[in-house]
Chains A and B, each alone.
Chain A
Amino acid sequence: MRWGVIVFPGSCDDHDVYDCLKRDMGQNVKLLWHKDELVGSFDCLVLPGGFSYGDYLRCGAMARFSPIMRGVIAFARDGGLVLGTCNGFQILCEAGLLPGALVRNAGLRFVCQQVWLRTEETDTPFTSQLKKGQLLRMPVKHGEGCYYADTATLERLRKNRQVLLRYVDAKGKTSPAANPNGSLDHIAGICNEGRNVFGLMPHPEDACDRLLGSDDGLKIYGSIAAAAARKGAAGASTRAG
């Protein structure tokens, strides 16, 4: 399986994703500079965390117009798998590939901590190796991770079962105390209607080894690899460009 990790100016988790995929999972990974056009064949593109363009104006507002994003958007519209973590999630929302927006944390603090997440849906390429209700331990580190969408959009997300992960406590219950940023409906991660684009504020790539406190992140990347293998067996991988 071929992974592409987009590198924006100000990305800082690009190498975390690269290492997780390459070293921990033995995957074929390529770092892709944002100023280049997207060329080549990929099974999954990852938009990593960081502070692209210094988070100026709004998080992800300018990265969305990087030259490579034309190819990323076309790839996603063709059904290609796209994962955005943290700043990548913000960029996917700004690009219109995911609904809603990420705004300033309700508590105003930059949060940097381990959180518990509850798996809400498993019929997606990103969560297929998880069980409904399964709890995951992963870190968050962001200042603007409060998920916001208007009532109609939230309703649509629930109806289409697009909320894949919610912030919960260690017992799997949602509560204001277990929600690190004030996200509406405790949303930590959502997918698009086509279920091929997934954005989340937590960092699965930083939960790739028990030495780091958890290796639950591998279950997300592992789900994607398994989905790509199934798709690969069924036909050729999605061509970019």
Chain B
Amino acid sequence: MRLKVFITLKPGVLDPQGQAVTRSLHALGFGEVREVRMGKYLDIELESATRETAQARARSMCDQLLANPVIEDYRFEIEE
């Protein structure tokens, strides 16, 4: 199974990297860009018996280590 985890900054948390990318895109002529928020993507290979187990374990991984609930939100997808 393949676990894809997407970690994003919570709304309100300053994202200077995203702002710098926004400015660069504007400079390149992509004036339609309103805002860029940068996040992290983790591609994880899993050996789980069932989808349900994988989901529960994935949630636990995110809560314990992968995301910091003070500043980040996460979501994940599981592919078989």
Q: Which residues of A pack against B, CB within 8 Å?
A: 57-58, 61-62, 65, 93-94, 99-101, 103-108, 146, 148-150, 182
Sample (26) of A-B pairs whose CB atoms are under 8 Å apart: A58-B68, A61-B65, A93-B70, A94-B68, A100-B70, A101-B68, A101-B71, A103-B14, A103-B71, A104-B15, A104-B17, A105-B16, A106-B14, A106-B16, A108-B16, A108-B17, A108-B20, A146-B14, A148-B13, A148-B14, A148-B70, A149-B70, A150-B12, A150-B70, A182-B14, A182-B16
Cα separation A150 to B68 with both chains bound (whole Å):
13
Q: Which residues of B sit under 8 angstroms from A107, Cβ to Cβ?
A: 16
Which residues of chain B are within 8 angstroms of A106 by Cβ–Cβ distance? Answer: 14, 16
- Give Cα A79–Cα B72 distance, bound, in whole angstroms: 30
Contact of B70 among A57, A62, A101, A105 (CB under 8 A): A101
Chain B window 1-30, contacts with chain A (Cβ cutoff 8 Å), 1 for yes, 0 for no: 000000000001111110010000000000
**Who on chain B is nearest to A146 by CB?**
B14
**Which residue of B has the minimal Cβ distance to A107?**
B16
Distance A99 CA – B16 CA, assembled complex (angstroms): 22
Q: Is the interface of A mostly helix, strand, loop or mixed?
A: loop
B54 lies within 8 A of chain A by Cβ: no
Whether A57 lies near B14 (C-beta < 8 A) is no
| Across-interface contacts of A149 in B (CB, < 8 A) | 70
**With a CB–CB cut-off of 8 A, which chain A residues contact B36?**
none
Asked if B78 is at the interface (CB within 8 A of a chain A CB), the reply is no
Known contacts A61-B68, A104-B17; 4 further A-B pairs (Cβ under 8 A):
A108-B16, A146-B14, A148-B13, A148-B71
Residues of chain B lying within 8 A (CB to CB) of residue A62: 65
Task: Count contacts on B: residues with CB < 8 A to the other chain.
Answer: 12
What residues of B have a CB within 8 angstroms of the CB of A99 in the complex? Answer: 70
B70 adjacent to A104 (CB under 8 Å): no
Task: Across the interface, name the chain A residue whose C-beta is closest to B70.
Answer: A101
| Contact of A103 with B65 in the complex, beta carbons under 8 Å | no
Please give me the residue from chain A that is nearest to B13 by CB atom. Answer: A148
- Bound complex: CA A59 to CA B12 (Å): 20
Complex Cα distance, B14 from A108, in Å, reads 11
Measured between alpha carbons, how far is A105 from B17 in the docked complex, in Å?
Answer: 10
Q: With the chains together, A103 CA to B16 CA distance in Å?
A: 10
| Residues on the B chain within 8 Å of A100, using CB | 70
Contact A57 B66 (CB under 8 A): yes
Residues from chain B with a CB closer than 8 A to the CB of A65 are 65
Which positions 16-57 of chain B face chain A at CB distance < 8 Å? 16-17, 20
Taking CB atoms, residues of chain A closer than 8 Å to B17 are: 104, 108
A100 to B10, CA, bound (A): 13
Q: How far is the CB of A43 from chain B (nearest CB, A)?
A: 30
Chain B residues positioned under 8 Å from A103 (CB to CB): 13-14, 71
Contacts of B14 in A (CB 8 A): 103, 106, 146, 148, 182
Q: Within the assembled complex, what's the spacing in Å between the Cα atoms of A38 and B35?
A: 47
